[in-house]
Structure 1
Amino acid sequence: MAGLYMHIPYCRRKCIYCDFYSGGDRRARWQELADASLAELQSRKSEVCGDFETLYLGGGTPSLCPDSELRRLTAGLRSICGERWNVSEATIELNPDDVTDERVEKWQEAGFNRFSLGVQSLCDEELAAIRRRHDAATAVNAMELLMQTGCDVSVDLMYALPGQSRRSWQHSLDRVAAMQPQHISAYALMYEDGTALSALEKQGKIRRASDGEYIAMYCTLIDTLSAAGYEHYEISNFALPGHRSRHNSSYWQGMPYIGLGPAAHSYDGDRARRANNPDIEGYLASKGICVPHQTEHLDDAMLLDEFLLTRLRMCEGFAVDDFRSRFGKNNTQRLIAEVRKEMPHGGIEMTAEGTVRLTRQGVMTSDSIILDLASVLS
């Protein structure tokens, strides 16, 4: 299988924590963006093998895209892929205050059967602190409208927000879990260089949560959603049985995908990664032909690092036999020795069936465990 990702590079207002590439929607050139994206796919579809089985429109704010252009875009994608179009999961990211009955119907007509809703919090003070466009009531209304469609709904939440307490985090979790969306993604607030959030912290206007607060809120997340029937299948992702994100899971499983649009990333499933330049004007000027981009060739050590980084994010981990087939006997022996050495510390385990995976304790410090393991093997 292969995936298709398209980056919609426009936002009405940038959230203070966001470091994704985007520009203001007042200058959006929707028709040109769709034309360039379709031309890019036409010129690049042979870069990956297999049928295209997932589609994901991310951003930016894809729900700002006019319905007519969105419908033309998805029809064009299907036409260009031809017999290779076998998409069973088509996701579009939405901002809550863009969700109306009419627009939900239009998104379904365009072929989307999965909605990813950027809720972040159900406390108005927290939403205002990170400069989201919506309030809690609008988010709840959007969830209700989307869940009436029968399509899968994924809700994004964030924790360790400015002014957020464990009690308010529990409040947001309880309200969302009670509505039973099929999927929930929850991310710790990150202070990325160059963002308004990072600048406010440097000015002393915002206090970053302590490590203890991060861990406590993450434990609350796992306990609350597990009790509500959700499967914790990836470090930041939870799903009701049978409702994992196929598109995002393909990233963690090393499957190929093509990314269209400015700043979009691609992977051929082997050794080549590509990143389109983060330049809206340059992308539109290219008209989707010879799009300015950077390419990275993955050597053996990089492939091993990426394998550990992606597979250990998943609750299943990876099979030692799979690792051996990819990286050879010597690396496998070193892997087994290192995992056995670390097992007494409680962060990683190897099952009797030969599966290596993080424990619940290990998930809390996953970055350091994975980096330490990769440094030993490389």
Structure 2
Amino acid sequence: MAGIYLHIPFCKQACYYCDFHFSTSLKRKEELVVCLVKELELREDELQNEIVETIYFGGGTPSLLSIDEIELLLNIIRKNFKVIDAPEITLEANPDDLNEAKILELAKSSVNRLSIGVQSFFEEDLKSMNRAHNAKEAMNCLSVATRHFDNITIDLIYGVPNMGNERWRENLQIAFDFGINHISSYALTIEPKTVLDSFVRNGKYPAPDEKEAKEHFDILVEETHKNGFVHYEISNFGKPDYFSKHNTSYWLGKKYLGIGPSAHSFNTTHRSWNIANNARYIKAIQEEKLPLEIEKLSKEDRFNEYLMTGLRTIWGVSLHRIQQEFGEGFKVQLLKNAERFINQDLLTVKDNVLITTPKGKFLADGLASELFII
């Protein structure tokens, strides 16, 4: 099984914290959609007869696409790849794009999962992030969307300066009250060369407080558990049967094809990524050239990647798989390196699987990097 990701590199405005590739000019949107179609055709052999079970429109802001553009891309995928009868098809969307008419159109389309970038239900937070929507639009879109879509996930950001624990609890409660079945939640981070990075360096915005972010994370884990969510990946919480199939395939090491500027692909032995420039991407595709770089992954690269993804999930890192794929030496070295973290109650071995403890979960990425084999 495999997945296809389509990167839609357009946004109405730039969020201060975002370091993804996008453009706020929509002038070349139609031209780029044509190129996405062409790239799908050029790369039809890359999944090597794998069956596609998930399709994900990410960005950027895919909800800026028209229904006709979405269906065009889906039809091209069905024409050029083997797709299961009922694939999970996710569309990322911003609340300001989801008026009732657009939601009704999407409900009649092939899209069966919405990922809505709420981030916060409070005006102060949204303004500090420079989000394109306001709190009222966030509420309105969910009140309509939940009537027409069962499979909805929302994004929420914690660790926002001045948010406080009570407002964070209110954010979560509002999501629960809407009957949302999946939440993706991330700490506000300062990415290099973003507007937020500049603001913090120049004293125009307070730096996020790591202690507060940890408190918010603990509240998130506690409250989602109370409300029937499974914390299946460090930033993802889903009720049973509502886990993201597409993102889970990334974490479990399945193949995926990334289409569009800056999109990444993975076939278990190689990783590739398209150029993060709309104009150069369009020019190359129009010339029937693939504007991508390819990296062959060494055994150490693949081992380290499995550690990074595995420790973030409830499935952990299988010691049996380590031995089978990488050899006894890798397994022995891993357990030796993990010993001090096991003694600190940050990691544990259960049923021949290395996993984070509740105490170590917030530190999963750092723990994985400490266990890397260079």
Q: Is the 8 A contact 1:230 1:239 kept in 2?
A: yes
Name the count of aligned residue pairs. Answer: 372
Cα deviation, 1:107-154, whole Å, max 9, x if unaligned, reads 233310000000000111111111111122211111121111143000
How does the TM-score come out when normalised to structure 1?
Answer: 0.95
Aligned partner of 2:19 in structure 1 is 19
1:145 and 1:42 map into 2 onto residues whose CA distance is 36
Aligned partner of 1:226 in structure 2 is 225
1:362 to 360, 363, 369: 360
Deviation at 1:362, TM superposition (A): 0.7
Deviation at 1:85, TM superposition (A): 4.9
Cα deviation, 1:136-190, whole Å, max 9, x if unaligned, reads 2211111121111143000000011233111111111111122221110000011
Aligned partner of 2:269 in structure 1 is 271
Cα deviation, 1:211-247, whole Å, max 9, x if unaligned, reads 2111111101111111111100000000011110000
Aligned partner of 2:75 in structure 1 is 75
User: Structure 1 241/229 Cα, relative in aligned 2: closer, same or farther at 3 Å?
Assistant: same
Q: How does 1:1-378 map to 2 (within 5 A)?
A: 1-30=1-30, 32-49=31-48, 50-81=50-81, 83-268=82-267, 270-287=268-285, 289-351=288-350, 353-374=351-372, 377-378=373-374
2:177 and 2:362 map into 1 onto residues whose CA distance is 25
Q: Is the 8 A contact 1:347 1:361 kept in 2?
A: yes
Q: Is the 8 A contact 1:52 1:86 kept in 2?
A: no
Deviation beyond 6 Å, 4+ runs, structure 1: none
1:173 and 1:294 map into 2 onto residues whose CA distance is 40
Deviation at 1:87, TM superposition (A): 4.9
Identity in percent: 31
2:327 and 2:53 map into 1 onto residues whose CA distance is 31
How does the TM-score come out when normalised to structure 2?
Answer: 0.96
**Secondary structure, counterpart of 1:161 in structure 2:** coil
Q: Is the 8 A contact 2:100 2:141 kept in 1?
A: no
Q: Is the 8 A contact 2:10 2:59 kept in 1?
A: yes
1:313 and 1:213 map into 2 onto residues whose CA distance is 21
Q: Is the 8 A contact 1:259 1:266 kept in 2?
A: yes
Cα deviation, 1:251-298, whole Å, max 9, x if unaligned, reads 111110111011111011x21101100111112122362221111111
1:84 and 1:150 map into 2 onto residues whose CA distance is 22
Q: Is the 8 A contact 1:183 1:240 kept in 2?
A: yes
2:56 and 2:345 map into 1 onto residues whose CA distance is 36
1:36 and 1:78 map into 2 onto residues whose CA distance is 17
Q: Is the 8 A contact 1:78 1:85 kept in 2?
A: no
**Secondary structure, counterpart of 1:257 in structure 2:** strand
1:132 and 1:77 map into 2 onto residues whose CA distance is 32
Which deviates further from its counterpart, 15-24 or 206-215?
206-215
User: Structure 1 41/127 Cα, relative in aligned 2: closer, same or farther at 3 Å?
Assistant: same
